[in-house]
Chain A
Amino acid sequence: MTLSPDLVYTLIPLPVLIPLFTAAVTLVIGRQPRAQRLLTVAAQGAVVAVCALLLYLVDRDGTTALQVGGWDAPIGITLVIDPLSALMLVVSSVVLLAVVVYAVGQGVRDGTEQQPVSIFLPTYLALTAGVCNAFLAGDLFNLFVGFEVLLAASFVLLTLGASADRVRAGVSYVMVSMVSSLIFLCGIAFAYAATGTLNMAQMATRLDAVPVGVRTAIFSVLLIAFGIKAAVFPLSNWLPDSYPTAPAPVTAVFAGLLTKVGVYAIIRAHTLLFPGGELDDALMIAGLLTMLVGILGAIAQSDIKRLLSFTLVSHIGYMVFGVSLATRAGLTGAIYYVAHHILVQTTLFLVVGLIERQAGSSSLRRLGGLAASPVLAIVFLIPALNLGGIPPFSGFIGKVALLEAGTQQASVLAWVLVAGGTVTSLLTLYAIARVWTKAFWRSRADAPEGDLADAAPSALIDESFDISFENREDVGRMPVFMLAPTIGLIGVGLALTVFAGPLIGYSDRAAVDLQDRSVYVDAVLGPGYYAEAVPR
């Protein structure tokens, strides 16, 4: 059976529509938690299926655009699926499904009537819709709307339960995100004034006629907006303060996805709208500083969640590095690395949730002796080694692809970045190895505060206080529905290694499509538009 090429038009809006409608329904049936959970998991599963089909169809038939409501391209809203956005959609939807199962597993286990579960799932679905919309958006303002939808949902998720800690973190997170959105709006206004269109394909053809200075100015405004969202170095300090206070599944999905939406926007803007390369050197330096400052911050942390937040910032630098090389190999590496990093970072945060559940803390000053639970030890070790870039895993493959691309480009800055990337990789291994030796290997009696534990670890609401470790009520061993999605994500992460060849090949095709802008422009505005609009 072969699938009709027209099927793609039916599928494109579904990753946005399914979660949005399900969010509405789950809000209505908030009184029936079981139905709500079933429906949410089913919807997320459906999104995974749709995205996988989209990936297959895009790889077969190429970039496709849907003109929503029948309005033609420059006027109406356009949803575009190209190899890059299809890959991002698939990886994100898999992560979102795993995390929602994990959250439900945790909620089922901790289930008390105090927990705000009835708003958790609808908000989570809205977040899914926002993320998918951002990946599918074919015009700049729709991208902004996607960002806003996912941000508004993330505000609610970050402040779930509204404890003092989360409100404090929430206020700074909301402020930083709003400022970045407003800067994005400024960028949209400037771009609109310069080109008279918001459609990214049409804007791409018209920006070539804009004077270089103006074009660079618009790009830098957009880059600052995306840089805040992606947590690129001088703009990254909000992240380690806000993410770790959220509930474990929320932190996991934020860490995996939200920054990568920013990275996606940077890739899209850099390749489609501003391929001139005026800011490549600045991007490279920002990437280098992101890597080094981030990982040095990670080394200083004693809380595992904060440590991982810093490694998250640090590894964003790798993707910025790949993008700023502006070569086919660099883009290929960056795309593969985004997929790898979404999976590994989410998995690690989910594991920290398991550690909190098991040991009542995520602080290295309290943890010890976790290796007594072999399952937990293996579940931590595999993604940890993966993050550190140990050979058989996808982290190694991604880093090799990026470093190789750097050596091919062979400018002085690229070599500096190759060195910086190597150092960062080693320091990541150091930070991760320290977590391993302290939390898993030493006896808990040897931890400086080992006799203390959180009373209510990793529940959706956060009213934790310290109690003596012996008095801690055993909240239970790791529930199956928390463990299973974690293991599932590790499996997907390992699949990135096993199928590294085809995936690098796919990333390469995506990179070629990104660099040849005519593919995207012609898909949106009709065949031949690019050749006509941009005379050679």
Chain B
Amino acid sequence: MTANVVLLAVIGGLVSCGVYLILERSITRMLLGLILFGNGVNLLILTMAGGDGSPAIVGRTSAGHDTMADPLAQAMVLTAIVITMGLSAFVLALGYRSFRLTTQDRVEDDPEDVKVASRRSPADAPDHDRTDDPATGDPTPFGDAFDAHGNPIPLEELVNLEDIECYDELHTGEIRRVEAGEER
């Protein structure tokens, strides 16, 4: 099989421009990139199906061609074009909606993602409790109080630390550490 070098170069150009544009943050540019990429791929399918030839209709021939062009590739490209067109329309609608909502043509980072990435202190950790030490993130007796049966004691009912059966076993370590810090 021989391939047309010019066409291959065009495909390469289309795809690389398309990829470059898709990497932008502007929805319009991403859409243009998508269309360029799509056209590059369509051209690729046509090229891959072999050389040119007569129309794929029984009884039709054209001058200079002995063989028929591959109709399957044309059918595939037709399908691909229709799909790309429909989805381009959808992206246009999304872009317009995004512009209406944010008044700018830009895709922002996921806010939750930014929040996770910008965590610095243990107090931002996902398993942080309100009663945990805000600086170190260590648990304090108030958050992790359990009664004799091992059930957690709700914060509002926690009045007297000595009421907790297993308080000593649970928290002596913590308190000793704090005292050691004070000595230093």
Contact = CB atoms under 8 A, between A and B. Distances in A.
A376 to B, nearest CB: 17
Given A169-B110, A302-B116, A364 B127 contact: yes
**Interface secondary structure of B, over-half rule:** helix
Interface in A167-220: 167-172, 174-175, 178-179, 181-182, 185-186, 188-190, 192-193, 198
Given A443-B152, A445-B154, A448-B130, A185 B110 contact: no
A168 B110 contact: yes
A179 B1 contact: no
Contacts of B95: 171
Contacts of A442: 129, 143, 152
Most buried by A among B83, B84, B123: B83
Given A175-B34, A188-B45, A364-B126, 16 more contacts: A164-B101, A174-B94, A178-B38, A182-B37, A182-B38, A185-B45, A188-B76, A192-B45, A244-B112, A301-B116, A365-B126, A442-B152, A443-B155, A446-B130, A447-B129, A448-B129
A198 B73 CA distance: 10
Contact of A241 (B22, B113, B123, B152): B113
Interface residues of A, number: 52
Interface in B149-183: 152, 154-156
18 contacts: A141-B76, A152-B90, A155-B87, A159-B94, A165-B111, A171-B94, A171-B98, A179-B37, A182-B38, A186-B44, A192-B72, A302-B126, A434-B127, A438-B127, A445-B154, A445-B155, A446-B131, A448-B128
A152 B86 contact: yes
Nearest to A443: B154
Interface string B4-34: 0000000000000000001000010010001
A164 B102 contact: yes
Given A365-B126, A445-B154, A448-B129, A189 B44 contact: yes
Interface string B24-58: 00010010001001100100110111000000000
A301 B44 CA distance: 42
Interface in B117-131: 123, 126-131
Contacts of A155: 87, 90
A151 to B, nearest CB: 8
Interface string A276-306: 0000000000000000000000001111001
Interface string B48-91: 11000000000000000000000011001001100110110011
Contact of B107 (A171, A244, A448): A171
Interface in A362-395: 364-365
Interface string A243-262: 01000000000000000000
A185 B80 contact: yes
A148 interface: yes
Interface in A137-173: 141, 145, 148, 152, 155-156, 159, 162-165, 167-172
Nearest to B88: A178
B29 to A, nearest CB: 11
Contacts of B47: 189
